[in-house]
Structure 1
Amino acid sequence: MRELRYNPLTGQWVMVSAVRRERPWRPKDYCPFCPGGEETGHGWEVLILPNRFPMLSFDAPKPETSGFYRRARAIGQCSVIVETPEHGLRDLDGLSREQMVRVVELWKNVTAELKKNPGVAYLAIFRNKGEEIGVSLTHPHGQLYALPFIPLKARLKLENSRNYYNRHGECLFCRVLKEELKGERLIYENGSFAIFMPFFASWPFEIHVYPKRHVQWLTQLEGNEVEDLAEAIRVATGTLNEVLGRDMPYSMMVFQAPFKGSYEFYHLHIEFYPILRDNGKIKYAAGIEIGTWEFTYDGVPEENAERLREACKKAMERLGARGRCPEALE
Structure 2
Amino acid sequence: MRELRYNPLTGQWIMVSSTRKKRPWRPKDFCPFCPGNEETGYGWEVLLLPNRFPMLSFDAPRPERDGFYRRARAIGQCSVIVETPEHNIRDLDELSPKAMIRVVELWKNLTAELKKNPRVAYVSIFRNKGEEIGVSLTHPHGQLYATPFIPLKVRLKLENSRGYFKRYGECLFCRILREELWSERAVYENGDFVIFLPFFASWPFEIHIYPKRHVQWLTQLSRKELAGLADALRVATGTLNTVLGREMPYTMMLYQAPFRGTYDFYHLHVEFYPILGENGKIKYAAGIEMGTWDFTYDGVPEENAEKLRRACGEVVKRIDARGKCFT
Q: Could you say which TM-score interval applies, normalised by the shorter chain?
A: over 0.9
Question: How far is 1:131 from its partner?
Answer: 0.7
Query: CA–CA distance in 1 between the matches of 2:13 and 2:65?
Result: 15
Q: Does 1:293 align with 2:293?
A: yes
Contact in 2 for aligned 1:183/1:326 (Cα 8 Å): no
Give the AA of the match of 2:58: F
Query: CA–CA distance in 1 between the matches of 2:24 and 2:119?
Result: 29
3-state SS of the aligned residue for 1:281? coil
Query: CA–CA distance in 2 between the matches of 1:183 and 1:39?
Result: 47
- Equivalences for 1:301-312 in 2 at 5 Å? 301-312=301-312
The runs of at least 4 aligned residues of structure 1 exceeding 2 Å deviation read: none
Query: CA–CA distance in 2 between the matches of 1:291 and 1:170?
Result: 33
Aligned counterpart, 1:11: 11
Aligned counterpart, 2:85: 85
Aligned counterpart, 1:66: 66
Give the AA of the match of 2:112: A
Give the AA of the match of 2:302: E
Give the AA of the match of 2:193: F
- Equivalences for 1:59-138 in 2 at 5 Å? 59-138=59-138
Contact in 1 for aligned 2:244/2:280 (Cα 8 Å): no
3-state SS of the aligned residue for 1:291? helix
Aligned counterpart, 1:193: 193
Query: CA–CA distance in 2 between the matches of 1:287 and 1:254?
Result: 27
Give the AA of the match of 1:41: G
3-state SS of the aligned residue for 2:324? coil
Q: State the TM-score, normalized to the length of structure 1.
A: 0.98
- Equivalences for 1:1-330 in 2 at 5 Å? 1-327=1-327
Give the AA of the match of 2:71: R
Contact in 1 for aligned 2:2/2:17 (Cα 8 Å): yes
Question: How far is 1:326 from its partner?
Answer: 1.3
Structure 2 unaligned residues grouped into runs of 5+: none
Tell me how large the CA RMSD over aligned residues is.
0.6
Query: CA–CA distance in 2 between the matches of 1:261 and 1:76?
Result: 19
Query: CA–CA distance in 1 between the matches of 2:138 and 2:258?
Result: 30
Query: CA–CA distance in 2 between the matches of 1:192 and 1:175?
Result: 16
Query: CA–CA distance in 1 between the matches of 2:44 and 2:181?
Result: 38
Query: CA–CA distance in 2 between the matches of 1:66 and 1:182?
Result: 54
Question: How far is 1:325 from its partner?
Answer: 1.1
Give the AA of the match of 1:94: E
Question: How far is 1:279 from its partner?
Answer: 4.7
Aligned residues: 327
Query: CA–CA distance in 1 between the matches of 2:33 and 2:279?
Result: 30
Question: How far is 1:223 from its partner?
Answer: 3.7
Question: How far is 1:320 from its partner?
Answer: 1.1
Query: CA–CA distance in 2 between the matches of 1:245 and 1:98?
Result: 26
Query: CA–CA distance in 1 between the matches of 2:17 and 2:3?
Result: 7
Question: How far is 1:183 from its partner?
Answer: 3.1
Q: State the TM-score, normalized to the length of structure 2.
A: 0.99
Give deviations 1:109-149, integer Å, cap 9, x for gaps: 00000000000000000000001101000000000000000
Query: CA–CA distance in 1 between the matches of 2:155 and 2:183?
Result: 29
Structure 1 unaligned residues grouped into runs of 5+: none
